[in-house]
Amino acid sequence: MDAAVRAALEADVEVTHDRFVAAMQRRLGELEPETLERYFGTMAKLVQRLEDRALPMQRVLAETVSEVGALVMLELQRRS
- CB within 8 Å of 45: residues ≥ 6 apart: 64, 67
Same domain, 47 and 26: no
pLDDT at 76: 82
pTM for the structure as a whole: 0.78
Cβ atoms 20, 46 nearer than 8 A: no
Same domain, 42 and 64: yes
Same domain, 16 and 6: yes
Q: Which amino acid is at 76?
A: L
* Residue 52 DSSP code: -
Closest CA to 71 of 21, 36, 47: 36
Same domain, 2 and 18: yes
Residues 17-75 have pLDDT tens digits of 999 999 999 999 999 998 899 889 999 999 999 999 999 999 999 999 998 888 888 87
Cβ atoms 15, 23 nearer than 8 A: no
pLDDT at 80: 63
